[in-house]
Structure 1
């Protein structure tokens, strides 16, 4: 558990007046801003060589942890009241909890927040609980919660397991050629399927007292106890209805399974889970499967003092950040991502390979290279194992985004010792390219849209297809390592990117908010591989960025743009998104366009004395429309990169 950084941002520096009063941005002003940002970033480096900022999600992290402790019978844990304090603090005035600050109430998050606080002793008649309850009922009741939320409620006896999707553990035996198998779904889904399958197999619920339950949150109790809110009748007319019918058949099988096959499946699922704990700080090293891992351990009869159980609890608590009498919970830890981007920002600002900052980071990154093949090899041609993951330890799941970022940084400041690792990383990235020319995050994949119709796919990310932003990031890394347009892999990637552009020239952001992020990533990647940036389609993308730039030079885009296309490129100004917009424009216009200087001026004028920037908005994306993130160093290393790149291009 970490302790929160209590350092407050200082007032804006006097250079804001200087830049506002001069016609041309002076080199000395730019240099001072870059130096201050570099000092702030270097000061945050861990002595071991990495950077790791707080990674902030939404209220479900706190509410689900509280519900988990009640499922496990550990509600007396001393940390829980502090978690409940934070959950109360972030409740909206209307009684709901949102996916991101300023967003509308989310029904699933609000029901879980209410339930968690009720279990922690909050009276249903308390004003904050009454507001939450009234809001839930106005949104259609707790029966409108998503499927992942229903698993928690079933485990606490509030609904039947029939209201949850059936996931027979026998899926562990499905062959690779089968349309649905473990290696045709996304890595994050893969780590959830078998734990959830075991939960639905055992169908074990903790019995609560009636007054501890949430029956008051349901408008239709019958609907609450079935998977489909409306009763199914007649022949299915859509793929979703077909899968719901299949689910009904699976539920029949669950009640009278082949005992021999079922026991073998349970054993095989347990073996798969245990195998994927090796070399990792938790199953998948992310919050959701790590929660259900503890439930599975209890279902399988592991005692509380078993080393695996003790370790699993510790790994979840490592996500805690205590701030006074409150604890907030991170969804995972992001050292690889933060370190790769921070090192690249410092390289852009002039860091040399011989510098101690670069040397320590390089040594740390090289020690984290994945040298053992895992899930990714199931769909990939033979290639020497390499790649880097997102967290401190997650050897089963290196990803292309982190690998590209690390290769970019090491190619710049890693020195001779890093080049063999960079070469392996590049070869691994080339092997991971999809048939459509793009890259996905964790696997070499084929888009299978039918998978998104499966009942437990309402997190909108059942699979992990190619996306423009990661493809842009990867070709930027490949470009840094010497590859150019004319190489078959680069040409295929450019063709993919061009096909993915919206009519207005912009690209969607899968992993960052949103079109500003996607467009910046793509344009920067294209520039790095020598694409002609004067062509009409790249100019069109730059024109889109210009069209959404604010009069003061800044950029901002709300998470709501994923739900409402009319909000594309619109939102409160942020330092990270202004940096992205500026760098996207630099990829097309160099440093010459006046809009770029306006963005750079805005960054300098809003920089704090401490060298960083203020940023409250969430600009990271976990699952579009479902889960968003605030990376606490985005407001530092991306503006630094933009300022340093502008200085380099201008000179």
Structure 2
């Protein structure tokens, strides 16, 4: 039957033909807008905005190192004030609930930047923090004892996620040597504690029996700390230094993520590397590369995302498909192909020493830490061109993905079998991101690639079985790397 339209009095059409035409026009405009944002080298890289924790930490870092850029600080402070919630604090996402840890850091950063504690926004923030129990309720990432333990030990550093280990290793040096922050203005936040912080006994609420055991071990460790021979401490610091210096990653930074970069920057200063040393210079530049300045406002990104952005842009252009495999798509895919990590060193090799590389990282350069999510997306975009020049790259990616499968059939982001859940009971694991276990969203992306390649091996079957087991009672799937259940369900269904 012919398509029908319904004519209204004002001479506009609301039938199927009208909406199809409007949809086509919108898709064309979106395609043109996306292509206009492509970098001449072929990639896309969009801003990656997180919550206010990282911009606040940038101000705190400048004061810790006594390297305050007053103009930049003013712009970041403006950004932080703009994002204060109606509840008085700062959330982890737009319109979200009060978050204690984020709010404490932002309050401290604004006070460092010169905001009066009597300013209305500071009073409102302080009242919200105290109403939620005070700064003692913020999370922690301290008391590091993992760097020197053998691999079989329950707490070895390889048993936590890549982002945790890149943060913890340089942080362990800071915790061991206990340098005093420069803090030129001697700013404190005692007013955010319901009890004097030096007298507080309950920084770690007991969450379980295992957590209680770890708390007691923590107390024992602090009691024994003064008796640790200086030679052992020096050896521990040297090994931690060797580990993170090997992974500094030039001006892309340690782990290519802000928290690790900050700790590396501060640890290098603590280890008496002079400001002009190449490590100090490159680490400082890596942090500056994350800044986004918009007029009188500025914030710091957690990292940059060119591989991911370029992979998704190519997939979107391929799905739109009006012009086939265009020069713009090929330029982007060539750029991606040249960034595949094949023979480079990587932490993932600890559990898979005989597996050949084939992954992509999230950032411009992060060779130690390719991830399966980016790898599956990029390989799919390469495969869909059906061009011979990409087939070897696609096959290397597929082989790497198969080799990185966890024992339960699922796929994690950066490691395999990183599911040591007992570590979540350690006191400093209250931030909830210590591990990198298999997730539905990453597993679904890997299954999509393998199925599109016509793969018939057991890895695909085991992955699909994992996804079926992960479906929640309400029918959804939880996704870790997007808007949780919406993202997870979309990933699995597509």
Residue 277 of structure 2 corresponds to which residue in structure 1? Answer: 306
Q: Does 1:45 align with 2:15?
A: no
Where in structure 2 are there 5+ consecutive unaligned residues? 1-9
Which residue of the other structure, out of 343, 348, 371, is the alignment partner of 1:399? 371
* CA distance in 1: counterparts of 2:31 and 2:297, whole angstroms: 31
Distance 1:355 1:252, change over 3 A: same
Distance 1:397 1:226, change over 3 A: farther
* CA distance in 2: counterparts of 1:390 and 1:21, whole angstroms: 43
**SS of alignment partner, residue 268 of structure 1:** helix
Partners of 2:88 and 2:124 within 8 A in 1: yes
* Superposition pairs of residues 22-171 of structure 1, within 5 angstroms: 22-23=15-16, 27-148=20-141, 165-168=142-145, 171=146
Q: Does 1:501 align with 2:477?
A: no
Q: Does 1:449 align with 2:421?
A: yes
Partners of 1:280 and 1:395 within 8 A in 2: no
What's the CA shift string for 1:202-233, capped at 9, x where partnerless?
Answer: 11222658972111111012576556356x9x
* Superposition pairs of residues 447-596 of structure 1, within 5 angstroms: 447-484=419-456, 487-524=457-494
* CA distance in 1: counterparts of 2:236 and 2:386, whole angstroms: 46
**SS of alignment partner, residue 396 of structure 2:** helix
Distance 1:237 1:361, change over 3 A: closer
Partners of 1:353 and 1:359 within 8 A in 2: no
* CA distance in 2: counterparts of 1:441 and 1:237, whole angstroms: 28
Which residue of the other structure, out of 247, 272, 293, is the alignment partner of 1:276? 247
Q: Does 1:340 align with 2:317?
A: no
Which residue of the other structure, out of 211, 226, 232, is the alignment partner of 1:240? 211
Distance 1:216 1:422, change over 3 A: same
* CA distance in 2: counterparts of 1:96 and 1:68, whole angstroms: 21
Partners of 1:110 and 1:136 within 8 A in 2: yes
Which residue of the other structure, out of 244, 256, 259, is the alignment partner of 1:288? 259
Where in structure 1 are there 5+ consecutive unaligned residues? 1-16, 149-164, 525-651
> What is the aligned residue count?
484
Deviation at 1:321, TM superposition (A): 1.1
- Runs of at least 4 residues off by over 6 Å: 17-20
Deviation at 1:477, TM superposition (A): 1.3
Distance 1:29 1:134, change over 3 A: closer
Distance 1:23 1:126, change over 3 A: same
Aligned Cα root-mean-square deviation (Å): 2.3
Deviation at 1:49, TM superposition (A): 0.6
Deviation at 1:179, TM superposition (A): 2.2
Residue 192 of structure 1 corresponds to which residue in structure 2? Answer: 167
* CA distance in 1: counterparts of 2:156 and 2:322, whole angstroms: 46
Residue 7 of structure 2 corresponds to which residue in structure 1? Answer: none
* CA distance in 1: counterparts of 2:12 and 2:452, whole angstroms: 33
Deviation at 1:94, TM superposition (A): 3.7
**SS of alignment partner, residue 322 of structure 1:** strand
* CA distance in 2: counterparts of 1:58 and 1:281, whole angstroms: 21
What's the CA shift string for 1:549-589, capped at 9, x where partnerless?
Answer: xxxxxxxxxxxxxxxxxxxxxxxxxxxxxxxxxxxxxxxxx
**SS of alignment partner, residue 252 of structure 2:** coil
**SS of alignment partner, residue 293 of structure 2:** strand
Residue 315 of structure 1 corresponds to which residue in structure 2? Answer: 286
Partners of 1:201 and 1:254 within 8 A in 2: no
Q: Does 1:174 align with 2:149?
A: yes
Residue 158 of structure 1 corresponds to which residue in structure 2? Answer: none
Deviation at 1:77, TM superposition (A): 4.6
Partners of 1:358 and 1:413 within 8 A in 2: no
TM-score (norm 1): 0.71
* CA distance in 2: counterparts of 1:351 and 1:334, whole angstroms: 27
What's the CA shift string for 1:29-53, capped at 9, x where partnerless?
Answer: 4332222211111111111010111
**SS of alignment partner, residue 456 of structure 1:** helix
* CA distance in 1: counterparts of 2:366 and 2:199, whole angstroms: 37
**SS of alignment partner, residue 429 of structure 2:** coil
Partners of 1:411 and 1:419 within 8 A in 2: yes
Deviation at 1:349, TM superposition (A): 1.3
Residue 607 of structure 1 corresponds to which residue in structure 2? Answer: none
Distance 1:332 1:76, change over 3 A: closer
Partners of 2:249 and 2:256 within 8 A in 1: no
Which residue of the other structure, out of 268, 272, 296, is the alignment partner of 1:297? 268
Residue 5 of structure 2 corresponds to which residue in structure 1? Answer: none
Q: Does 1:262 align with 2:233?
A: yes
TM-score (norm 2): 0.93
| Larger RCO, structure (CA 8 Å, separation 6 or more) | 1
